[in-house]
A and B are shown apart, each in its own frame.
Chain A
Amino acid sequence: MTDTGPVLAADGTPLKKKLAQALFVSRARAFSLVLPLLIFIVASFIIPIFSLMVQGVKNDTYSSNMPATTAIMAEWDGASELTEDMFAALVTDLIQARADKSIGRVATRVNREYAGTRSMFTKSARRAAKLEAPFMAAMLDIDEDWGDINVWGAMKVSSQTLSPAFYAAALDADYKADGSFVRLDTEDRIYVYLFVKTLAVALAVTLATLALGYPVAWLLASLPIRQSNLLMILVLLPFWTSLLVRTTAWIAMLQSHGVLNNVFVWLGITSDDSRFSLIYNMTGTIIAMTHILLPFMILPLFSVMKGIPPTYLRAAKSLGATNWTAFWRVYFPGTIPGIGAGALLVFILSIGYYITPALVGGQDGQLISNFIAYHMQKSLNWSLAAALGGILLVIVLAIYWVYDKVVGIDNMKMG
């Protein structure tokens, strides 16, 4: 070979370039197959969730309806004396907001920052049109709390379109007008406790499903195929049965005159008038969730255990290991990937559980998702719901990331 130039294709272009072109075309072809779904998921799933997350830090209820005070609040430092200008701006805004019928929403927004201010706004807005300068004295005449600097502080916080106030509230902190965060008093803290409770329930359910799922998966993996297929039906039938059906079934099982309590009374474990309260509390939530999520633990465990040759255990025993040593040193380490997959799957699912706690949880069985639903549907504090959801999402994505690193999403197996 004396020619040192690049290898050429039949039409004279360098082969390297030709190969790059061909690769690009096949890449583009593969990508174009994925593109429709990608667009669909991004448009109908990612963007809605992202917009909700934005709502968690962005709330323009105040700033869009009360422009004059919003402008003044941006300059006010949150601590210095109240001025006549501030009151004049407030009166202008109140008149306008009443005309726009937006005063109710504004009052609710400020009331979330400082409870008890709602009526001040609605009451003053009703009389604002008749007020004359000096406005400070006139407003104080309507309600002397207008002189309270904390009310104005709440207005300053509300007037910020982008504010961390809701994320702070979701973590039981108060975002003050001077930009500081103050932890709420012990009796007002709910959400951090709720997150911890949700994580604790998820952990309890994960451990319960592991304890119940491991022996079953092991039995299924070690039985001959015909028998294990039969027994597998007992796992797959609950897996395929509607969530609502299973929750209903547990209500029938656990209620105070339900099947289980009747059996207890019949067996003499308890008397007729001291039946166990197994449902509409935390016990019921954990029992029902364990049952519902158990197949999600058994199936990955089973598929991992199926891949461990039974000869390993026999080899260990023939080399002198006791049953326990053979299990603990030889079999168990092999099943760890299955435990990881099952545990993380169950944990992720139970963190976001909504239906079962809502139906069988009663008062103390409510989890974080029930409060998100409450703020979305009942109290209509969407920004707080968004902040709570955002924190929940971050926790779940962190666990998912670990899952992906440890197990890999491609290894997920269904039924």
Chain B
Amino acid sequence: MSALPPYATIGQRVWYYAFRVICALIFVFLITPILIIVPLSFNAEPYFTFTSGMLSFDPDAFSLRWYADIFHNGMANPDATEGWWADMWQNSQWVRATKNSFIIGFWATALATSFGTLAAIGLSRSEMPYKGLIMSILISPMIVPLIVTAAGMFYFYSNDFNPFIEGKQALAGSKLGIILAHAALGTPFVIITVTSTLVGFDNSLTRAAANMGAGPTRTFFKVQMPLILPGVISGGLFAFITSFDEVVAVLFLASPEDKTIPRQMWSGIREQISPTILAVATILVIISIALLTVLELLRRRSERLRGLSPS
């Protein structure tokens, strides 16, 4: 398959190029929808499609109005010069959604990463009892359909027998409920990435540290942690993305003030379909490109640290 040998028959040549054309078409299918939103977000008209002006590259057909609308949407007075920043910070729907997304994402990631890393270290020890059973319980948030998870948490967190908070204040409709939900959804990714980093971990290093008089805590932070750090970070990134992208649990658990970016996009698509969503989508695509780069760099660093040949 790789390179075409000089003695290839005509049939082989036809197949070789046909196969590449098929693959190219599939790549087009994969990437076109994501790239198409970038030019569409600069549309001067409130449509989701290319206007004739855009196709003939008329500068007037392009505008940044939808990017401005990201800030203006929900503001009390978007034309004011005085107090514009405070108004934007307080009232703009998308800005509030961004703040919510980051607050929820941060705490959910912190919970998932700290618990998940500890658990992954425990799970990768050979003497861990009931490994299979515990692993499947801990991985289950990834397997159980999101709708069942969200419905269950909504049901449980809005119930009277809620053991966490007394009185009428239920967890449903609060940020804490969403944080708990997202932390649970993120842990499987942390466990999977950290366990796979630990597979290549040389246990004689911890024994050597113990031999030289380091306690378990010191060994963990000075020896083990720096080596598995790339795995922990990429697990944390997965957990953050999971939270950042998750909308079903937010749909069930969030109050109107706790809307996150995807939740805001959801209502954007459902209620007020405008190219503002395309502008937001473009920004999100750029963020995911940045994340992709970070992950790739981490992977290379991890392989270098563990002495594997770079691939």
Contact = CB atoms under 8 A, between A and B. Distances in A.
Interface string A220-244: 0011110000010111111011111
Interface residues of B, number: 95
Q: Which has the most chain A C-beta neighbours within 10 Å: B26, B111, B135, B270?
A: B26
A388 to B, nearest CB: 9
B284 A33 contact: no
B227 to A, nearest CB: 17
A392 B291 CA distance: 34
A269 to B, nearest CB: 17
B129 A27 contact: yes
Given A219-B23, A244-B265, A246-B34, A251 B128 contact: no
Nearest to A50: B152
A401 to B, nearest CB: 9
| Secondary structure of the A contact surface, majority rule | helix
A47 B33 contact: no
B1 A235 contact: no
A415 interface: yes
Contacts of B151: 52, 372-373, 376, 385-386, 389
Contacts of A118: none
Contacts of A247: 269
Given A37-B116, A241-B284, A48 B23 contact: no
A48 B40 contact: no
Contacts of A233: 292
Contacts of B15: 323
A216 B285 CA distance: 22
A389 B195 CA distance: 31
Contact of A252 (B40, B118, B135, B136): B40
Contacts of A252: 33, 36-37, 40, 48-49, 278
A167 to B, nearest CB: 15
Given A34-B128, A246-B34, A240 B241 contact: yes
A323 B19 CA distance: 13
B169 interface: no
B141 interface: yes
Interface string A236-274: 111011111111111111010111001000000000000
B42 interface: no
A414 B119 contact: no
Nearest to A232: B296
Nearest to A249: B33
Contacts of B1: 218-219, 222, 310, 313
Q: Which has the most chain A C-beta neighbours within 10 Å: B27, B32, B48, B193?
A: B48
Nearest to B38: A249
A354 interface: yes
Interface in A11-56: 23, 26-27, 30-34, 36-38, 40-42, 44-53, 55
A393 B50 contact: no
B2 interface: yes
Interface residues of A, number: 93
Nearest to B157: A48
Interface string B20-41: 1011001101111110110010
Contacts of B191: 37
B90 interface: no
Nearest to B193: A414
Interface string A380-391: 001001100100
Contact of B148 (A23, A31, A323, A372): A372
A26 B127 contact: yes
Contact of B12 (A37, A223, A323): A323
A17 B196 CA distance: 34
B288 interface: yes
B128 A242 contact: no
Contacts, number: 272
A142 B92 CA distance: 56
A34 to B, nearest CB: 4
Contact of B37 (A33, A41, A46, A248): A248
B4 interface: no
B147 A373 contact: yes
B66 interface: no
B97 to A, nearest CB: 12
A369 B122 CA distance: 35
A216 B148 contact: no
A376 B154 contact: yes
Contacts of B311: 225
A241 B143 contact: no
A372 B284 CA distance: 29
Contacts of A49: 144, 148-149, 152-153
A377 B254 CA distance: 13
Interface in B112-161: 115-116, 118-119, 121-123, 125, 127-129, 134-141, 143-149, 151-157, 159
A359 B269 contact: yes
A38 B137 contact: yes
A294 interface: yes
B295 interface: yes
Interface of A: 23, 26-27, 30-34, 36-38, 40-42, 44-53, 55, 212, 215-216, 218-219, 222-225, 231, 233-238, 240-253, 255, 257-259, 262, 291, 294-295, 310, 313, 323, 348, 351-352, 354-355, 359, 369, 372-373, 376-377, 382, 385-386, 389, 392-393, 396-397, 400, 404, 409-410, 412-415
Nearest first, the 7 A-B pairs at minimum CB distance are A352-B145, A33-B122, A48-B156, A249-B33, A49-B152, A369-B147, A37-B119
Interface of B: 1-2, 12, 15, 19-20, 22-23, 26-27, 29-34, 36-37, 40, 47-50, 111, 115-116, 118-119, 121-123, 125, 127-129, 134-141, 143-149, 151-157, 159, 180-181, 183-184, 187, 189, 191-193, 195-196, 238, 241, 244-245, 247-248, 251-252, 261-262, 265-266, 269-270, 273, 277-278, 281, 284-285, 288-289, 291-292, 295, 311
Given A38-B137, A352-B144, 12 more contacts: A37-B115, A37-B187, A45-B184, A47-B156, A241-B285, A246-B34, A255-B49, A313-B1, A352-B146, A389-B147, A389-B148, A409-B135
5 contacts: A30-B123, A37-B119, A41-B137, A241-B34, A352-B145
